[in-house]
Structure 1
Amino acid sequence: MLKKLFRSIDRVFLFVEEWSLFATVCIALVTAMANVVLRKTTSDYSLYWSDEVVRKVIYFSTYIGCVAAIRSRSLVRIDALPQMLPFLKKPLTLFSHLAVLVFSTCMIYLGSQMTLMMYQDEYALTATLQVPEWLLYAVLPLMGVMMFFRTIITMYEDWTGLNDITGGC
């Protein structure tokens, strides 16, 4: 039952991660390329907002990329010490997971507070695109929730020895 629930959560998160990262990076790439082409081929036209789009995509992809890093077990962690002293592998892995859970909980709480604060400020808009800032801050609690559940799934896999829940990364 728990394994089936984790598999369902994993599929939904994987879909959100892959497609949102793909779409945003494509938008940034096309925008940046169009701006470069316009600047080099004409002297009158430029996309003044392209730099902001690229910055916001980097912001988004950094946070959602953290969630993807947990799935592939490539999030930054203590790695050299367990190789030298193998008996420390399990305690340090547990410490790493607990640190990510604490971090993700902070991101949920603080990100929600910041999103709410930006939502209540009707003048909080991005500089050139005039997009409400709360939409960008909403990535923080979303990322926190996704990191929390991904970490729980990873801990379950570590404790049970099952690696087929998320595809055996």
Structure 2
Amino acid sequence: MLEYIQKADHGLAWIERGLVVAFTGAIACIMVAQVVMRYFFGAPLFWAEEISVQMLVFATLFGLSLLVRHGQLVTIDFLPNALSPRARHGLSAALGVVMLGLFAFLSWLGWEWIARPEVRIELGATTQLPRWWNYAVLPLAAAMMAWHQLAAILRELRAFAGGAR
């Protein structure tokens, strides 16, 4: 079972990496097109800034989820480094449970927020697209972070139970 969870975690990270690359490349293409259209043809793309900002937020949130997956969030690690490897895995699992709760709560709050009628009717200033599509990325990314955190907790518990020294 643990192997399936780890494979699913790896697959989700692969998808997130592809999304981050795609969004970053799309931002670059849109902004280059915006410069060309504005300064060479005098006809700027009226939607370029709004879409680029949205894609930047998407890339940032999915990138943050990748940082959770790889355990690369900023941490204060003087206490874990002072512990034995087995105790370090136990502490990491305990702290991971706290983070899992935080990510799950953030995701739940996000879904509750975008389900509100006043949020569902908001439209983008230039694109006139429903903004809840953009807002939905936050709880989605938080749910992905929760999944990655769950997989990390299981890895830490396996290392703890295996008696890492």
TM-score when normalising by structure 2? 0.81
Q: In the alignment, is residue 26 of structure 1 matched against residue 25 of structure 2?
A: yes
Q: With CA pairs under 8 Å and 6+ residues apart, which has the higher RCO, 1 or 2?
A: 2
Structure 1 residue runs of 5 or longer lacking an equivalent are 163-169
Structure 2 residues without counterparts, runs of 5 or longer: 161-165
Q: Deviations over 1:10-39 (max 9, x none)?
A: 243123202222222121110011112223
User: Could you tell me which amino acid in structure 1 is paired with residue 149 of structure 2?
Assistant: T
Q: 1:29 and 1:147, CA in 2 relative to 1: closer, same or farther beyond 3 A?
A: same
Cα contact 1:78–1:92 (8 A) shared by 2: no
Q: TM (normalized to structure 1)?
A: 0.80
User: Over the residues paired in the alignment, what is the CA RMSD in angstroms?
Assistant: 2.4
Residue 65 of structure 2 contacts residue 144 of structure 2 at CA under 8 Å; is this kept in 1?
yes
% identity of equivalent residues: 24
SS in 1 for 2:115: helix
Supply the distance in 2 between the matched residues of 1:62 and 1:103 (Cα, whole angstroms). 18
Counterparts of 2:113 and 2:138, CA distance in 1: 9
Q: How does 1:65-144 map to 2 (within 5 A)?
A: 65-83=63-81, 85-86=82-83, 89-90=88-89, 92-117=91-116, 121-122=120-121, 124-144=122-142
Distance 2:117 2:29 in 1: 29
Q: How many residues get paired?
A: 158
Q: 1:127-159 deviations in whole A, cap 9, x for unaligned?
A: 112121111121122122211111111111122
Alpha-carbon offset, residue 56 of structure 1 = 0.6
